[in-house]
C-alpha cells in the first residue's frame, strides 16, 4: 500500500541557506501535518493543512512557510537556516480533518536536515 | 498549544508483565485523542483514535480507555513482549500535539 513519501530523506545545508522539504500524502488523503523533532526532543507540531488551506498553526518560525498544492502534496520552505533548525522533519497525512471526522494519521519516514 | 502530559516518562518491565501508562490533556473543547507507537529509527505508527467519552479500544494485547470529562486516557499492554519496546505517544486535538511520550523497555 502507498505510504506517505517525504523527500529528500537527508539534506545538508549551510547557515543562511534555504531548504525545501516535500511531502506526498497517501492517495485521497486531504490533510497534511508537519512536525519537527530536534535531537533528544519531543516532536513539535509545526503546521497542518486541509484541502489546500492552512488549518492549524503550531510552533512554526516566521522563517518557515508551507503550503499544500492542488495535488495535495505539501512543501515546507525554510529560509535563513540556523544551526538550531537541524532536526528530523516528519510529515503525516490523514483523511477528513475538516469534516470533523478524526482518522488516524500516517507518517512518512522523515527528512533529516543538518545545518552546518 | 495544548498541555499534554504523559506518565511515567520511562518504564522498564519484564517480559510477560502487564503495564499501563497515562495521557492527561485539557478536557475543555475535546476533539479526539490519538495514541501512537514510535520505535527508534522508524516513523510513528497509529494505534488508536478515540473520540467518545468512555471509549475503549483494543488491538491485540494493547488496549486504551478514554475519559474526556476528566481529561485522561490510559494505554494498557497485556503480557509485554520485547517487541513492544518503543515510545508511546498520545496526541489530543486537531493539531495532533504530542505529549513527551512514555518510553517502554521490555526486558527478556
Q: How far apart are CA A86 and CA A115, in angstroms?
A: 5
Look at residue B103 in the predicted model and tell me its pLDDT.
Answer: 93
Residue of B nearest to A56 (CA): B95
Q: What cell was used for A93?
A: 497525512
What is the arithmetic mean of pLDDT over A65-87? 97
Q: What is the DSSP code string of A57-107?
A: E-S--TTEEEEE-TTS-EEEEE-S--GGG-EEEEEEEES-GGGT-----EE
More confident residue, B7 or B32: B7
Q: Which of A35, A90, A102 sits opposite B49 (nearest CB)?
A: A102
- Closest Cα in chain B, distance from residue A116 (Å): 22
Look at residue A44 in the predicted model and tell me its pLDDT.
Answer: 86
CB A37 within 8 A of CB A88: yes
Q: How far apart are CA B17 and CA B84, in angstroms?
A: 11
Answer yes or no: is pLDDT of A74 > 90. Answer: yes
Best CA proximity match to B73, nearest among B94, B88, B59, B95? B88
Answer yes or no: is pLDDT of B55 > 60. Answer: yes
Q: List, for residues B85-97, the tens digit of each pLDDT value.
A: 999 999 886 667 7
CB A32 within 8 A of CB A25: yes
CB A51 within 8 A of CB A98: yes
Q: List, for residues B56-85, the tens digit of each pLDDT value.
A: 999 999 999 999 999 999 999 999 999 999
The confidence band for A82, taking pLDDT boundaries of 50, 70 and 90, is very high
Residue of A nearest to B2 (CA): A58
Q: Which residue has the cell 527478556?
A: B108
Answer yes or no: is pLDDT of A114 > 90. Answer: yes
Which residues, including other chains, have CB under 8 Å from residue B16's CB and lie 6 or more apart?
B79, B80
Taking the Cβ of residue A56 and every Cβ of chain B, the question of whether any pair is shorter than 8 Å is answered with yes
Given an 8 Å threshold on Cβ–Cβ distance, is A103 in contact with B49? yes
Q: What is the DSSP code string of B64-95?
A: EEEETTTTEEEEEESS--GGG-EEEEEEETTT
Look at residue B2 in the predicted model and tell me its pLDDT.
Answer: 59
Contacts of B94 in chain A (CB under 8 A): 48, 55-56, 97, 102
Taking the Cβ of residue A104 and every Cβ of chain B, the question of whether any pair is shorter than 8 Å is answered with yes
Taking the Cβ of residue A110 and every Cβ of chain B, the question of whether any pair is shorter than 8 Å is answered with yes
Answer yes or no: is pLDDT of B1 > 60. Answer: no
Q: Which of A29, A50, A105, A109 to mutate to test the interface with B (most CBs of B within 10 A)?
A: A105
Look at residue A112 in the predicted model and tell me its pLDDT.
Answer: 96
Look at residue A63 in the predicted model and tell me its pLDDT.
Answer: 97
Percentage of residues in chain A with pLDDT exceeding 90? 70
Amino acid at each position: 500500500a502507498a505510504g506517505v513519501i517525504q523527500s529528500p530523506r537527508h539534506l545538508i545545508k549551510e547557515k543562511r541557506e534555504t531548504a525545501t522539504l516535500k511531502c506526498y500524502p497517501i492517495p485521497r488523503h486531504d490533510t497534511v501535518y508537519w512536525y519537527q523533532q530536534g535531537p533528544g526532543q519531543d516532536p513539535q507540531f509545526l503546521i497542518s493543512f486541509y484541502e489546500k488551506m492552512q488549518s492549524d498553526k503550531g510552533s512554526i518560525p516566521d522563517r518557515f512557510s508551507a503550503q499544500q498544492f492542488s495535488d495535495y502534496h505539501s512543501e515546507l520552505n525554510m529560509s535563513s537556516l540556523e544551526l538550531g533548525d537541524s532536526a528530523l522533519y516528519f510529515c503525516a497525512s490523514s483523511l477528513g480533518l475538516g469534516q470533523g471526522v478524526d482518522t488516524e494519521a500516517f507518517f512518512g519516514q522523515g527528512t533529516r536536515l543538518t545545518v552546518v | 498549544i495544548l498541555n499534554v502530559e504523559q506518565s511515567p516518562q520511562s518504564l522498564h518491565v519484564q517480559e510477560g508483565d502487564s503495564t499501563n501508562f497515562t495521557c492527561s490533556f485539557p478536557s475543555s473543547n475535546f476533539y479526539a485523542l490519538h495514541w501512537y507507537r514510535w520505535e527508534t529509527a522508524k516513523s510513528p505508527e497509529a494505534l488508536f483514535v478515540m473520540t467518545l467519552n468512555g471509549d475503549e479500544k483494543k488491538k491485540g494485547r494493547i488496549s486504551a480507555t478514554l475519559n474526556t470529562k476528566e481529561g485522561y486516557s490510559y494505554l494498557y499492554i497485556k503480557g509485554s513482549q520485547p517487541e513492544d519496546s518503543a515510545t508511546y505517544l498520545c496526541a489530543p486535538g486537531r493539531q495532533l500535539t504530542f505529549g513527551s511520550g512514555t518510553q517502554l523497555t521490555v526486558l527478556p
